[in-house]
Amino acid sequence: MMSSTDLELELTDVEREIKDTVHRFAEDVMRPLGQKIDKIHDPQDAIAADSPLWDAFDEYDELGIEEFQREDSELTPIQKARIHAIICEEKGWGDAGLGLALGSRGGGFVAGFAEASGDAELIERFTKPGNREIGCWAITEPDHGSDTLALTEPHFKDASIKANCIAKLDGDDYVIRGQKSSWVSNGPIATVAALYCTIEGDRGLQGGGVAVIPLDLPGVSKGKPLDKIGQRAMCQGEIFFDKVRIPKQFMVIDQEGYPDQLYSTLTLMNSFMGVTFSGVARSAFDLARAYAHERVQGGKPIIEHQSVKLRLFDMYRKVETASTYARKVSIFNNTSDAGKLHYAIASKTYCTRVAFDVASEAIQIFGGNGLSREYPVEKIMRDARASLIEDGCNEVLSIVGAAEL
Extract long-range pairs of 144-147: CB within 8 Å, 24+ residues apart: 144/205, 145/181, 145/183, 145/393, 146/392, 146/393, 146/396, 146/397, 147/205, 147/396
| pTM score | 0.95
Listed as ranges, residues in the chain with pLDDT below 70 are 1-9, 68-72, 107
* Pair 237, 188: CB distance under 8 Å: yes
| pLDDT at position 265 | 94
- Residue 118: the pLDDT is 86
Q: Which helix (H) or strand (E) holds 252?
A: strand 251-253
pLDDT (tens digit per residue) in 328-347: 999 999 999 889 999 999 99
Query: Which domains can be identified in the chain, with CATH numbers?
Result: 13-110 (1.10.540), 113-122+133-256 (2.40.110.10), 260-402 (1.20.140.10)
Cα distances (Å, whole numbers) of residue 262 to 235, 250, 266, 268, 321: 24, 17, 6, 10, 28
In this prediction, residue 254 carries a pLDDT of 95
CA distance 405 to 152: 12
Question: For 370, how many CA atoms within 13 A lie in the half-sphere containing its CB?
Answer: 21
Task: List 160's β-bridge partners, or say none.
Answer: none
Q: Are strands 165-170 and 192-199 parallel, antiparallel or unpaired?
A: parallel
Q: DSSP code of 234?
A: S
- What is the pLDDT, as a whole number, of residue 318? 97
User: What pLDDT score was predicted for residue 127?
Assistant: 84
Burial class, 131, CB count within 10 angstroms (exposed 0-12 / middle 13-18 / buried 19+): middle
Q: How many CB atoms lie within 10 A of CB 302?
A: 20
Residue length, the chain? Answer: 405
pLDDT of residue 69: 66
CA distance 298 to 28: 34
DSSP state of 226: P
Going by DSSP bridges, is the β-strand pair 220-222/296-297 parallel, antiparallel, or unpaired? unpaired
Q: What is the pLDDT of residue 70?
A: 66
Question: Which pLDDT tens digit goes with each residue over 170-197?
Answer: 999 999 999 999 999 999 999 999 999 9
pLDDT of residue 2: 43
Four-residue CA torsion sign, 374, 377, 380, 385: negative
Cα(237)–Cα(235) distance, rounded to whole angstroms? 7
